[in-house]
Amino acid sequence: MQQDNKLNVLLVEDNPGDARLIKEMINESSRNSFNLIFADNLSKAIEIMEKYNLDAVLLDLGLPESKGFDTFSKVIKKISTLPIIILTGLDDEETAIKAVRNGAQEYLVKGDITGTLLTRSIYYAIERKTTENALIESKKKIDDLNELLKVINKILRHDLLNHLSTVSMALEIYENKKDEKYIKSAFKGVHKGIDLIRQMRELESLIEAGAQLNPIDVRQVIESTMAPTNIPYSIEGDNCKILADQAFNSVMNNLVGNAIKHGNTDKIDFRIVSNENSCDIVISDYGKGIPEEIKDRIFEEGFSHGETRGSGLGLYIVKKVIERYGGTIKLKDSKPRGTTFIINLRKAN
């Protein structure tokens, strides 16, 4: 754990003399700003990576059970978001350069290291990696937004236009034949268009939403979602507050709406499980369930199935919202019938 706002730095070095020298350099030049943690082999280093909240890693590539670039590869797979500074000898500088090209922040030649250089390198590596991580996260958000914009464009250019064309055609036929069934067909097209516009608004809320997530009371959202449905429901388990925003209401509305409209359920059970760092929200209905052959596709954009098929956006929106929260959603069968969704989200402190 971090001590008194010190930076946790893991030193992976199997040579006791080199390790002692690096410790002395850091103590002399860092003004006691670092909490130095030692590992003399890769297995111990990985164990520490899993246990501690680290800020940087000083890595010697020549360890007892791992040598050269292979050492770096194993470490970066474990801690890809942390800055790694390679410690190398003159005879292995080429490998150190290769490591930098593949994600290490810097390399230092052991014989040329000074306390000031080492301390400065650690600080700079942390700053560079923080900036790099922010850029990666920004790119991911931009890619997600572009995907959502493509969906909205498709809705406007294709789906909504199709519904309006259906309404127009039905009204034209009614004008000629005066058959009431064409009025019903027109109303059906209008309602589908309204549903599309509502789901477009949900997609827009994803685009407009910032990175700020706040504590959301799961039980309150469930109760407000179920109140207008008149469907019997139960809530079991401990209450839990998750890190989310108002888009979580869309998640619950879509899942409950699907269970009622497409699953034809007459009851919904909710179970809230409070874990150490997360919350599980288990939603089980008693409807007709989801056919085995389409289970792998239900979260795809535009996928719909059955006589009551909709726009194919509801569960797509659900998945995108959950992913934005850093959570997961899984599907399984309910017994003896129905469908169960299991959502796992980060718990609010």
Higher pLDDT, 311 or 187: 187
Residues 335 and 312 in one domain: yes
CATH number at residue 262: 3.30.565.10
SS3 sequence, the chain? CCCCCCEEEEEECCCHHHHHHHHHHHHHHCCCCEEEEEECCHHHHHHHHHHCCCCEEEEECEECCEEHHHHHHHHHHHCCCCCEEEEECHHHHHHHHHHHHCCCCEEEEHHHCCHHHHHHHHHHHHHHHHHHHHHHHHHHHHHHHHHHHHHHHHHHHHHHHHHHHHHHHHHHHHHHHCCHHHHHHHHHHHHHHHHHHHHHHHHHHHHHCCCCCEEEEHHHHHHHHHCCCCCCEEEEECCCEEEECCHHHHHHHHHHHHHHHCCCCCCEEEEEEECCCEEEEEEEECCCCCCHHHHHHCCCCCCCCCCCCCCCCHHHHHHHHHHHCCCEEEEEECCCCCEEEEEEEEECC
55 and 79 together in one domain: yes
Q: Would 196 be classed as within a structural domain?
A: yes
CATH number of the domain residue 108 falls in: 3.40.50.2300
d(CA 297, CA 306): 14
Same domain, 99 and 172: no
Domain-terminating residue out of 208, 243, 267: 208
Within-domain flag for 128: no
Answer yes or no: do 244 and 328 share one domain: yes
Instruction: Indicate if the pLDDT at residue 179 is higher than 80.
Output: yes
User: Is 73 part of any domain?
Assistant: yes
- Same domain, residue pair 274 and 187: no
* Same structural domain, 169 and 97: no
Residues 146 and 271 occupy one common structural domain = no
Structural domain count of the chain: 3
Is 34 a residue whose pLDDT tops 50? yes
Six token digits for residue 133: 């991580």
What does each C-alpha distance from 228 to 4, 86, 119, 163, 223 come to in angstroms?
A: 51, 60, 61, 27, 9
Asked if residue 132 belongs to a domain, the reply is no
What's the mean per-residue pLDDT of the chain? 83
Whether residues 219 and 349 share a domain: the answer is yes
Percent of the chain with pLDDT over 90: 29
Q: Please give the residue that has the higher pLDDT: either 321 or 207.
A: 321
- Residue 16, pLDDT above cutoff 50: yes
My answer on whether 77 and 54 are in the same domain is yes
Please report which confidence band the pLDDT of residue 289 belongs to, taking 50, 70 and 90 as the band edges: confident
Inter-CA distances, 157 with 154, 186, 206, Å: 5, 20, 20
Residue 127 lies in a domain: no
The answer on 244 and 324 residing in a single domain is: yes
Of the pLDDT bands very low, low, confident and very high (cuts 50, 70, 90), residue 308 is: very low
Q: Which structural domain, as residue segments, surrounds residue 168?
A: 138-208
**Are 267 and 320 part of one and the same domain?**
yes
- What is the dihedral sign for C-alpha 164, 290, 342, 51? negative
pTM above 0.75, yes or no: no
Same domain assignment for residues 268 and 336: yes
- pLDDT above 90 (res 306): no
What pLDDT is stored for residue 317 in this prediction? Answer: 78
| Structural domain ending residue among the three candidates 191, 208, 225 | 208
Mean pLDDT of the 243-255 span:
85
Q: What is the pLDDT at residue 138?
A: 84
| In the predicted structure, residue 305 carries a pLDDT above the cut 90 | no
Top-ranked range on mean pLDDT: pick from 126-140, 254-268, 304-318:
126-140
